[in-house]
Amino acid sequence: MNLLPKSHKEFSEKDYWNKFFKKRGNKAFEWYGEYLELCSHLHKYMKQTDNILITGCGNSSLSADLYDVGFTNITNIDVSEVVIKQMNNINAQRTKMKFLCMDALNTTFKNEEFNVVLDKGTLDALMPDDSKETNETIDKYFSEIKRVLKLGGRFVCISLLQSHILNKLLATFCDKSWMFRAVRCHEAEEKNAENGDGTTLPVFVVIATKFKEMPQLIAEVCLAGDKMLRLKTAEELQECIKSVQDTAFVTNGLAKTSLDDEEVSLDLMQPGIDSPRYTLYVVDQKRSQAVNKYAVFIVPQGRESDWLFGTPQGRRQLQDSARFARLVVAVLRRGHSFSNLDAVKEELAHSAKMLIPHGFSGQIPFLSLGSDVGSRVTVRAGCSKLSGDYVIEDVDIDGVPYRRLVFMDNQFLVQSEAKLKSVKKKNKSKLVVDFGHISPYHSFMCVGAYLSPPKMAVLGLGGGGLCMFLRKCFDTEVTAVEIDPSMLEIAKDHFELKLDDGMKVEIKDGADFLKDEADKGTQHSVVMFDMDSKDRTVGLSCPPRQFLHDDQLARVKRILTNDGHFILNLVCRDNALHDSIIQTLKHHFTHLVTVKLYEEVNEIVFATNGQAYSIEKLEEAAKGLNAVCRQKGLNRIKCVDLKDFLQSISIVS
């Protein structure tokens, strides 16, 4: 039995509704949710003593539910004689409630008779389009609402707020004579989604309160929780509503389709706060390969830059190992506080439901690495003229403290990291930098340095951890080159960089340094590139593209000793560009080795015009580096994981 109109214009026609209710009989038809989903909002704006008018009541049970909890002074009107007769019969025992056949555009009520006019879907039915004829109809409807409402009374309208409807509401009720408020009703949306027979578009409750003229416009919106956001203009309110609707459009699409090998990311914002509170990554796999249908994985603070969570490849591996058809990876963004894992789950519950794939039912599993959300404490936030905004933060990873430098234009990349350790001085414990700890890719770079240690130049200072390790491990002369003077201050103040005769920092452009050294004929046994690129449009994050041009590589070759080594930290996501870089390096260096850790975005390249590399020679260097670290007391176990290192080596022919 088809109960839908042939065209959207039939929504506003009396004959259509008479036929509709005859076909449907006594079965209630609920627009946008029932009493249980709406009551938390309605009770805020209606008192049991209020005189309430419900326009276009249909055969909804909402008025009966309100009556049964104490709202007895209710008048229901509808243009359909059929439904009014049905409702009078159904509600015969509710003696104080009225059901009247009346056109909401032309009522017979007195002026200022009602405290509340309640509209649940009627406006949406009356306004299927933005035509002149429809607007004239709505003008009559709103005129009646304004006339019958008392001063201080409220027009409460439950709607999907399509753009033309929102525009009309704002044009009519968002002025200095009305306080205008729009509240999102998550409960109704979730109920509709569960039933599968209603819309999963955002449902809103609009509350327009009638006042004498006020000194200023009052427009508010609540899109999450109970926090109201005061807005300055109607245009700002439109933008807020549109943002929610656009997101719902995406999540509706995700609920009906599979992404296969792609992933989608969504930022979740708190009203009135510009920075995202969460980022959700939606990852799908073929259903035939999945054991489970759906789960949400919460990444603890401080782990968002791990390869497993911070890269598309890592998130794909996480999903493959868990074997979920859809996995949502939720990242907790910096700049916000998170009390505990349960609170995070509660905050994410609605969004998790909106991303449920088709066919999933039951409770959504929330997964994480442990029982807490991790720790992230801002030590310093600042701005560099060259590098932009940055933050220095202390994070806790599995009970071990780390200090990190992060540039805000690429928040999921840790620019520099130092492990912290506790030492006692004068019976007081203090956290200091553990210079024996370096990242896996830095340890690989140091294997190359072990082959020829006397004098080293490192382009790119960062927090100074690599340079301090080289200085302490090899007792060698290290010259760091850094274009950004702010980085030197950060390294000294927060990462304990110590300058002396053997540890120097030159503040200058790396290209100028290479030219000056080449012009002077200065020789270095090792030259390292460990600098990031601010231009990520070319698919190259490290180093800047110009440092891999022929002229710069020729200068590197000139300042290296005959048996010296060029060591490059390469981060390139463009395969064609990567291959061209390797070919360019081969023009300048006779022997090349690449070392790539599977769970790192970094690839380390060794290049020399001296003796050829061999697996045996590199293995000996790695073992030697570990031995020196133990001898110097830098690392009691090992600096380089020998197995990972040997598995990651590729000698370029």
pLDDT digits (tens, 9 = 90+) for 507-524: 999 999 999 999 999 999
Residues 6+ apart with CB under 8 A from 170: 180, 234, 237, 238
CATH fourth-level superfamily of 440-652:
Vaccinia Virus protein VP39 (3.40.50.150)
Q: For the whole model, what pTM was predicted?
A: 0.72
In angstroms, the CA 334 to CA 355 distance is: 23
Q: Where are the alpha helices (DSSP H) in 155-233?
A: 163-173, 186-195
Distances in Å between the Cα of 91 and the Cα atoms of 61, 67, 95, 100, 647 are 10, 10, 8, 13, 78
Mean pLDDT, to the nearest integer, of 219-230? Answer: 82
Give the C-alpha separation, 393 to 564, whole Å.
37
Burial 561-581 (b: 16+ CB within 10 A, else e): beebbbbbbbbbeeeeebeeb
Q: How do residues 66-84 score in pLDDT, each as one tens digit?
A: 999 999 999 999 998 988 9
Does the pLDDT value for residue 138 go beyond 60? yes
Residue matched to tokens 């290290």: 478
| 558 burial via Cβ count (<10 Å: 0-12, 13-18, 19+) | middle
Alpha carbon of residue 298 to chain centroid: 12
Q: Among 405-409, 546-550, 628-632, name the most confident range.
A: 546-550
Smallest CA-to-CA distance from 277 within 332, 226, 319 is with 332
Examine the pLDDT at 387 and tell me if it is beyond 80: yes
User: How would residue 355 be classed by pLDDT, with cut points 50, 70 and 90?
Assistant: confident
- Cβ-contact 560, 525 below 8 angstroms: yes
287-318 burial, b at 16+ Cβ within 10 Å, e below that, comes to eeebeebbbbbbbbbbbbbbbbbbbeebbbbb
| CA 1/CA 594 separation, integer angstroms | 68
Burial 30-39, CB ≥16 within 10 A → b, else e: bbbbbbebbb
Q: Is the dihedral of CA 375, 379, 381, 383 positive or negative?
A: negative
β-sheet bridge partners, residue 615:
none
Instruction: Tell whether domain 257-368 is in CATH 1.20.58.
Output: no
Determine how β-strand 591-596 pairs with β-strand 603-608: antiparallel
∠529-535-536 over CA atoms, to 5°? 95
Which burial class, exposed, middle or buried, applies to 229 when counting CB atoms under 10 A from its CB (0-12, 13-18, 19+)? middle
What pLDDT, in 10s, does the model give residues 434-455?
Answer: 998 888 889 999 999 999 888 9
What amino acid occupies position 533?
Answer: S
pLDDT of 24 higher than 60: no
Which secondary-structure segment (H or E) carries 463?
Answer: none
In angstroms, the CA 607 to CA 191 distance is 62
Report the DSSP beta bridge partners of residue 430: 423
Asked if pLDDT for residue 28 goes beyond 60, the answer is: no
CA distances from 260 to 277, 291, 319, 326, 539 (A): 27, 16, 12, 10, 24
Comparing CA positions, the residue from 373, 355, 344, 390 lying closest to residue 265 is 355
Place of tokens 């969460």: 278
Half-sphere CA count of 104, side-chain side, radius 13 A: 30
Check residues 559 and 276 and name the one with the higher pLDDT: 559
Domain 8-247 -> CATH class: alpha beta
Whole-number Å distance between alpha carbons of 171 and 529: 60
Rounded to the nearest 5 degrees, what angle is found at the Cα of 95, between the Cα atoms of 100 and 108?
25
pLDDT given for residue 173 in this prediction: 95
pLDDT at 31: 60
Q: Across all residues in the chain, what is the average pLDDT?
A: 87
Residue ranges per domain, the chain? 8-247, 257-368, 375-433, 440-652
Topology agreement, domain 8-247 and domain 440-652: yes
Distance between CA atoms of 519 and 260, rounded to whole angstroms? Answer: 55
Place of tokens 């759906």: 294
- Judge if the upstream peptide bond of residue 440 is cis by omega within 30 degrees of 0: no
Structure tokens given for 625? 């580096």
Give pLDDT tens digits for 251-283: 777 776 777 667 888 888 876 677 889 999 988
- Confidence class for position 199, pLDDT limits 50, 70, 90: very low
- Judged against a pLDDT cut of 60, whether residue 410 lies above it is answered with yes
Which SS3 state, helix, strand or coil, does residue 413 take?
coil
Give the percent of the chain with pLDDT over 90: 55
DSSP secondary structure letters along 105-166: TS--PPTT-EEEEEEESHHHHH-SS--HHHHHHHHHHHHHHHHHEEEEEEEEEEE---HHHH
Question: What is the average per-residue pLDDT within 353-368?
Answer: 85
Quote the CA–CA distance of 276 and 219 in Å, as a whole number.
23
